[in-house]
Amino acid sequence: MGTTDSEAAQVQPLIPKVQPSKAPKDTFHLAYIIYFTLGAGYLLPWNAFITAVDYFSLLYPTFSVDRVFAVVYMIIGLLCLIIIVAFGHKSNAFVRINIGLGLFVVSLLVVPVMDVVYVKGESGVNIGFYVTVGAVALSGVADALVQGGIIGAAGEMPQRYMQATVAGTAASGVLVSLLRILTKAVYPQDASGLRESANLYFIVSIIVMLVCIIFYNVAHRLPVVKYYNDLKIEAVNEEKKAKGDVTRKLWNSTLSDIVGTVKWYGYGLVILYVVTLSIFPGFITEDVHSQVLNDWYPILLITGYNLFDLVGKCLTSIYMLEDAKVAIGASFGRLLLLPLFYGCLHGPKFFRTEIPVTVLTCLLGLSNGYLTSVLMMLAPKTVQLQHAETAGIVMVLYLVVGLASGSVVSWFWVI
C-alpha cells in the first residue's frame, strides 16, 4: 500500500499563494463545534426512525418494520451517493447540504404530524406505514446530500475538523441511547408510552436539525472556514490553468485517480463496518440475554457500545495513528471479534455471562470509533486539495457499502 515517487507527486496538493501557516485562528473553537454538531445531526434522523421501531411495530404489526426501514434507507442513500460522486462536480456543495438539511426536517415532521392528524396511535392504519416508509426514503436522500457534503467539506480542512465530524456521529448514538433509557424509565411500556417516546425522538431530532441549519449557514462566514474555501478555489483555478476547463472526460479520469488513491482506506472502512454491523445491533438486541438485567440488558449494551464509540472517535484528538497500513491492518484484524462473539453464544459458561459480553461490546465500539476516525481523517489528505471533497464523498460511499454488507452478514447469526 506504499506509493511510488510518481504517485506521491500526483497526490500532492497544488501550492496556493496563501500559505496554510497563516490560517486564521478558530476563535472559541466555533468551527470545531459546528462540525461536531453537524456530524451528530445527520445521523439523528435515522436513529430516531430505528429507535422508535417498537412503536412502529405496534402500529403496523403485519410488517417487518426494522428490516424495511434499513433496506429502504440504505439503498436510497447508496444510489444517491453514487449519483453525487458521478455528478457532484456540476453542483454546489453548499446548496446540496442546505437542501439535505431541509429534507431532513420535512421527513422528521411527517411522523408526529401524521400521528396527530391521521394515525392517532391506532394500530393497523397501513397507509400510515407507507407514508412512514416514504419519509424514511426521503431521509435517505437527505443523508446522502448532507453526509457526503459535510464529510467532503471537512476533508478540505485540517484533520481536527474531520475528527469533530466523526465524533459528532458517535455523540448522536449516545444522545439517542440516553433518550431511550429516559423514556423506558419514565414512560410506561404500553401503546401510550411508546407513542410519547417516539414523538420525543422526532421532536428532539427536529430541534437539532434546525440548529444544524443555522450552524451550517453561519459556518461559511467564519474566517477559518473561508480561508480553506479560498485555498480550494485557488487550487481549482491553478488546475484549470494547467489542464484547461474541466470536461466530462477529464472528470472521469480524475474520479478514477481519486478512487485508486483512497481505495485501501475504503476497503478498511468496508471491512470495519462489515464486522461492526454483523454484530451490532442485531446480536446485542436479539441473541444475548441476562436473567439479572432482563430487557434492560440490550439497552445498556447499546449504550455501552455508543459511549465507547464516542471515546474512540475522540481519542484521535489526543493520539493520531498516522500509519495507514497499521490502521487498515487493524480494521481487518477486527475479524477476530467474530469468533469471540460467537463464543458468547456457544462457548464456555463464563464466556456467556454479562461481563465478557459487555467487555467485548465496549471493545467493539472503541475500535470502531478510533479506526473510523483515523481512516476518514487520513484519506482526504492523500489527494490534491481541490479533490479532497470528492475523496470524502467516496469514503462515505465505502462506508455505506460496509453498512449494507454488514447488515446482510448479521443474518448468519440466526442461520
Q: Percent of the chain having pLDDT more than 70?
A: 91
Amino acid (1-letter code) at residue 372: T
pLDDT of the residue at 359: 94
First to last CA, the chain: 36
Residue 55 in grid coordinates: 412503536
Give phi and psi for 50, each to the nearest 5: -80, -30
216 pLDDT band, cuts 50/70/90, is: very high
CA distance 236 to 386: 6
Cα distances from 201 to residues 168, 193, 317, 336, in angstroms, run 17, 13, 30, 35
Q: Three-state SS for 3?
A: coil
Q: Tell me the pLDDT of the chain averaged across its residues.
A: 86
- What pLDDT was estimated at residue 19? 47
Pick the range with the lowest mean pLDDT from 49-53, 63-67, 81-85, 244-248. Answer: 244-248
Q: Taking the model in full, what pTM does it have?
A: 0.86
**Per-residue pLDDT tens for 29-44?**
999 999 999 999 999 9
Instruction: Report the percentage of the chain scoring pLDDT > 90.
Output: 49
Q: Average pLDDT for residues 389-393, to the nearest whole number?
A: 89
pLDDT of 15 over the 50 cut: no
User: Are the C-beta atoms of 372 and 272 separated by less than 8 Å?
Assistant: yes
Looking at beta carbons, which pairs linking 27-33 to residues 24 or more positions away fall under 8 Å?
27/222, 27/223, 30/222, 31/157, 31/161, 31/219, 31/222, 31/224, 31/225, 32/160, 32/161, 32/164, 33/164
Residue 113: the pLDDT is 92
What average pLDDT does the segment 95-117 reach? 94
| Domains of the chain by start residue, with CATH | 26-414 (1.20.1250.20)
* pLDDT score for 244: 62
Question: What pLDDT does residue 17 have?
Answer: 40
pLDDT of 8 strictly over 50: no
Under the banding of pLDDT at 50, 70 and 90, the label for residue 289 is confident
Higher pLDDT among residues 316 and 293, named by residue: 316
Model pLDDT, residue 242: 73
Give the pLDDT confidence of 234-284 residue by residue, as tens digits.
887 887 777 665 555 556 668 889 999 999 999 999 999 999 988 887 777
Q: Residue 161 above 80 pLDDT?
A: yes
Residue 362 has pLDDT above 70, yes or no: yes
